[in-house]
Amino acid sequence: MKAAKRKPGVGARVERVEQREDDEARFLERYRPGVYPRPSVTVDLVVFTVLDRLLHVLLVRRSEHPFKGRWALPGGFVRVGDDRGDQGEDLDAAAHRELLEETGLSHTTSNGIFLEQVRTFGAPGRDPRMRVISVAYYALVRPTLVPRIRAGGDVSHAEWFDVAELVDPASRRAGGTELAFDHAVILDAALAKMRADLDRTAIGFELVPETFTIQELRAVHEAIRGEPLDPGNFRKRFLRSIEDGVIEAARGKRPTASKPASVYRFVRPPRSDG
């Protein structure tokens, strides 16, 4: 902070601000948090990927009560700290950490994974043990990383599930995959938000390798929307985004069952932080 030369008006203003800050510092010094009950806060992750041209979600089998044996979304408690001094970790950081812990991915790898907040769920009784408020995120994991995912920590098993099957109420019951807690609701909300984000933002590129062909990108869009798209029209819409500087042609060709396809690269936006 610059020490302002004391012009009369400005000086008065500065003194007032210093006064206020002094007051506040004294207040905080003496402040002791009350003993009102507080909720536990968790992050729950809806981790998506595309396998076999179908949208999949990562679930973990619960090894403990409640809902022991049921499939659930990975997640865990937000680190909070002790109020004074360190206040703990940010929500986004908690989501990243949980992703890392539950998938076994390395820190640098999991930090490159796209994460977006969905909504916060806090109905009383959603966890029978105690009041738990859960901030839901969805994550997009490139299929190339999937083989490196192993369930870690306190979950006995993690598995990818076809989202279409999981969301269909009939096969949900038949397959015995009724999710724990209110996780079916959270999954629905995450799916809706992700689909809405698909044609507003650039999230499609998060599910495709570093360089990709148009048809690979189209396969991702088809998996997310759950319906086929016209190859020609998709290509045109896509090529427009070259002019917008969103993507650029990359070197090389990708061999296919027929004619080799051109590959492209997503141009990461210059990190404006928002």
Partner DNA sequence: GCAAAAGTGTTTAATTTACACCCATGC
Partner DNA sequence: GCATGGGTGTAAATTAAACACTTTTGC
Binding site for DNA (CB under 7 A): 213-215, 230-233, 235-237, 239, 255-262
Task: Please say which residue, 52 or 199, places its beta carbon nearer to a second copy.
Answer: 199
Candidates 76-84, 106-114, 203-211, 237-245; binding stretch for a second copy (CB under 8 A): 76-84
Residue 110 neighbours by CB under 8 Å, 6+ apart: 96, 99, 100, 103
* Closest separation in Å from C-beta 208 to a second copy: 25
Which residue in the block uniquely carries the two structure tokens 């995450």?
A: 190
* Closest separation in Å from C-beta 69 to DNA: 41
> DSSP of 169-193, one letter per residue?
HHHHHHTT-PPSTTHHHHHHHHHHH
Residue list 120-179, contact with a second copy (CB under 8 A): 120-125, 128-131, 133, 135
Which residue in the block uniquely carries the two structure tokens 């001094």?
A: 85
C-alpha–C-alpha distance, residues 200 and 157, integer Å: 35
Residue 103 binds which entry of DNA, a second copy, none, with Cβ cut-offs from 5 to 8 Å by kind? none
Residue 260 binds which entry of DNA, a second copy, none, with Cβ cut-offs from 5 to 8 Å by kind? DNA
Please pick, from the candidates 61, 67, 195, 246, the single residue that binds a second copy as defined by CB under 8 A: 67
* Closest separation in Å from C-beta 161 to a second copy: 21
* Closest separation in Å from C-beta 240 to DNA: 8
Structure-token pair, residue 263:
């590959």
Which residue in the block uniquely carries the two structure tokens 């536990």?
A: 40
C-alpha–C-alpha distance, residues 235 and 189, integer Å: 29
Please pick, from the candidates 1, 3, 28, 170, the single residue that binds a second copy as defined by CB under 8 A: 28
Residue 81 binds which entry of DNA, a second copy, none, with Cβ cut-offs from 5 to 8 Å by kind? a second copy
C-alpha–C-alpha distance, residues 77 and 197, integer Å: 27
Reference 148, options 198, 109, 121, 94; nearest CA is: 109
Residue 255 binds which entry of a second copy, DNA, none, with Cβ cut-offs from 5 to 8 Å by kind? DNA
Which residue in the block uniquely carries the two structure tokens 């969805």?
A: 138
